Amino acid sequence: ATPVGLLAGTGRGAQLGLLIRGPQVLEDTRRIDTVVLDKTGTVTAGELQVTALEPFGDLADDQLHGLAAAVEAGSEHPIATAIVASAPSVPEAAFTASNFASAAGGGVSADVVLPGSGEPSRVYVGQERWLAEEGIKLSAAERDRLAAAQAQGATAVLAGVVDAAGPRVVGIMSLQDTVKPGSAAAIKRLREIGLRPVLLTGDNEQVAAQVAAEVGIAPEDVFASVLPEGKVDAVKRLQGEGRQVAMVGDGVNDAPALATADLGIAMGSGTDVAIEAADITVMGSELGQVVTSIELSRKTLSIIK
Ligand code: ADP
Ligand code: MG
């Protein structure tokens, strides 16, 4: 293969809406046998809807939602977008948040003055494990309600508070995502060209299992409740089993795993950080384009050879 020919291949990619980092990438598409797919935003639309609000203390539904929205206003996570976009606009649900902080794969926090209090409370919105690290633990009854929400296939997010009255959970919000219309067909095609799909997510096991079943990924090929750092470990684990791994993702959290994989593929609809870490970027947001990009790159290489 001549370098000129290979570059012509990458130029053809550009015409078809693919950005291919360099000629070596075409070779890499030949070797891969496993394709790790980030769930949120890659297999699913990443456009969540708030489907249930369950306050535990004396907050009304609207207040729980408004409080979470105030804290999430500083985050770009799809969970934050969903909570903020659907927040009620009534005055009693309006809160002012300051000193925003974010923990990747955990959640967000901020200072908020709660009704009937003169002092700011620290408010946390995120997943159970992260709130526990911040000293906010669920009672047995609260844990049952969280499990019930997750059993519905929801991404359940907790709101918790730490102030003079002590750490406590103030409610659960359930969010639901939807699988993109083309994802199941794209995953079927991946199998047809001899690639094994693996699902990787920071989300809980029930949600992951439900999505996997919907798109035809085997239960043993699902990695759930994975921390952002853990995404790299999952790729390395598969590589350690002798697999040649492509990773497909869109989020900031996916960038290290995209860089670690033998082939990193970013969705063009995703974040700049993911695109920078990737070998191939497909325009748009459809998983089918990822499969097309692999097929095209392989074919381009065989024309050159
Ligand atoms: P994924 O990309 O698979 O959704 P993340 O690592 O981004 O995974 O998030 C993992 C989990 O951490 C989420 O399912 C959620 O429970 C929690 N989380 C992360 N960011 C936020 C946020 N901004 N608000 C609430 N929860 C969050
Ligand atoms: Mg993601």
Q: Which of 65, 128, 157 to mutate to test the pocket of ligand 1 (most atoms within 8 A of CB)?
A: 157
**Ligand 2 centroid distance, CA of 172 (Å):** 21
The yes-or-no verdict on residue 7 having pLDDT over 60 is no
CA distance 180 to 259: 25
**pLDDT computed for residue 6 by the predictor:** 41
For the CA of 102, the closest atom of ligand 1 is 23
**Ligand 1 centroid distance, CA of 20 (Å):** 29
- CB-ligand 1 contact for 77 (6 Å cutoff): yes
Kindly report the length of the chain. 305
Specify the residue with its C-alpha closest to ligand 1, atom 20. Answer: 107
**pLDDT computed for residue 21 by the predictor:** 87
Rounded-to-5 percentages of helix, strand, coil across the chain: 45, 25, 30
- CB-ligand 1 contact for 201 (6 Å cutoff): yes
Q: Confirm whether 3-45+178-304 and 49-176 share one CATH topology.
A: no
Q: Does residue 16 or residue 293 have the better pLDDT?
A: 293
The yes-or-no verdict on residue 2 having pLDDT over 60 is no
Q: What 8-state DSSP symbol labels residue 114?
A: P
CA separation (Å) from 206 to 217, 218, 224, 226, 265?
Answer: 14, 14, 9, 13, 26
Contacts of 184 (CB under 8 A, 6+ apart): 214, 215, 216
- CB-ligand 1 contact for 256 (6 Å cutoff): no
Question: Domain limits of the chain?
Answer: 3-45+178-304, 49-176
**pLDDT computed for residue 12 by the predictor:** 64
Active-site amino acid positions = 38
Q: Which contacts qualify for 278-284: CB closer than 8 Å, 24 or more apart? A: 278/21, 279/20, 279/21, 279/22, 279/25, 279/28, 280/13, 280/18, 280/19, 280/20, 280/21, 280/25, 280/29, 281/18, 281/19, 282/17, 282/18, 283/17, 283/18, 284/17
Contacts of 284 (CB under 8 A, 6+ apart): 17, 267, 268, 269
CA distance 6 to 41: 31
- CB-ligand 1 contact for 157 (6 Å cutoff): yes
Average pLDDT over residues 70-93: 95
In the chain the first and final C-alpha atoms are separated, in Å, by 5
* Each residue's pLDDT tens digit, 245-278: 999 998 888 999 999 999 999 988 888 899 999 9
**pLDDT computed for residue 235 by the predictor:** 97
Q: Which of 76, 77, 211 to mutate to test the pocket of ligand 1 (most atoms within 8 A of CB)?
A: 77
Contacts of 20 (CB under 8 A, 6+ apart): 9, 10, 13, 14, 26, 279, 280, 297
In the CATH hierarchy, which top-level class contains the domain 49-176? alpha beta
CA distance 27 to 6: 10
* Each residue's pLDDT tens digit, 130-177: 999 999 999 999 999 999 999 888 999 999 999 999 999 999 999 999
Q: What is the ipTM of this complex?
A: 0.95
- Residue among 119, 97, 93, 117 at smallest CA distance from 108: 97
**pLDDT computed for residue 14 by the predictor:** 65
* Each residue's pLDDT tens digit, 213-241: 999 999 999 999 998 889 999 999 999 99
**Ligand 1 centroid distance, CA of 101 (Å):** 14
What CATH number labels 3-45+178-304?
Answer: 3.40.50.1000
Asked if 264 and 255 count as a contact pair (C-beta separation under 8 A), the reply is no
Specify the residue with its C-alpha closest to ligand 1, atom 16. Answer: 127
- CB-ligand 1 contact for 80 (6 Å cutoff): yes
Instruction: Tell me whether residue 251 is exposed, middle or buried, using C-beta atoms within 10 angstroms of its C-beta: 0 to 12, 13 to 18, 19 or more.
Output: buried
Per-residue pLDDT band at 1 (split at 50, 70, 90): very low
* Each residue's pLDDT tens digit, 178-189: 999 999 999 999
* Each residue's pLDDT tens digit, 17-76: 788 888 888 889 999 999 999 998 899 998 899 999 999 988 999 999 999 999 999 998
CA distance 30 to 12: 17
CA distance 302 to 236: 29
**pLDDT computed for residue 9 by the predictor:** 53
Average pLDDT over residues 290-303: 83
